[in-house]
Amino acid sequence: MNKVILFNKPFGVLSQFTDKGSADSPRPTLSAFIDAPGFYPAGRLDRDSEGLLVLTDNGALQARIANPRQKMPKTYLVQVEGRPDADALEALRRGVTLKDGPTRPADVRQIDAPDDLWPRDPPVRFRKSVPDAWLEIVLREGRNRQVRRMTAHVGLPTLRLIRTAIGPWRLNQLRPGAWRFAAESGP
């Protein structure tokens, strides 16, 4: 049976096991948290994003999870700068046109600030004069920095981005830097 690892990637960690960047200032990678030979990330999560990263020891499963044609839903909690109005939310739901073309429609809803969220290190910048809000966004594609580009397109820059689910797998109560094995079909 194929094995799956669910990992809560902390802010600032690369979604790979080695850093091919500057040798002078190495950045933290998955190898600082996961010692499980033969596992590889199925998809990516930007260094400045947090949350669920799925790793597997099966190449076909890895491709199925990462392939945009599979339309596997990915759920994000997104803290944005500003207050979304009905037009901005509807634009995100319909899909917006970015430099690399139109996005697929997304499920988007405004939510209350999550009360069980861990603090981020470093903290999100806070400005008394600018309100913020939280959105839950479900995408069925995975372009580079897509959520950030979509929210910026409607005038709501992303302050914090946390992936909470990929297909059947959920972050649940997994704390930053922690991982656990899960079944191929989900938790």
Cite the active site residues: 46
Phi, psi of 117 (to 5 degrees): -85, 140
The β-bridge relationship of strands 107-111 and 158-166 is unpaired
Amino acid at 82: G
The CA distance from 168 to 23, in Å, is 37
Q: 70 to each of 73, 140, 144, how far by Cα in Å?
A: 9, 8, 17
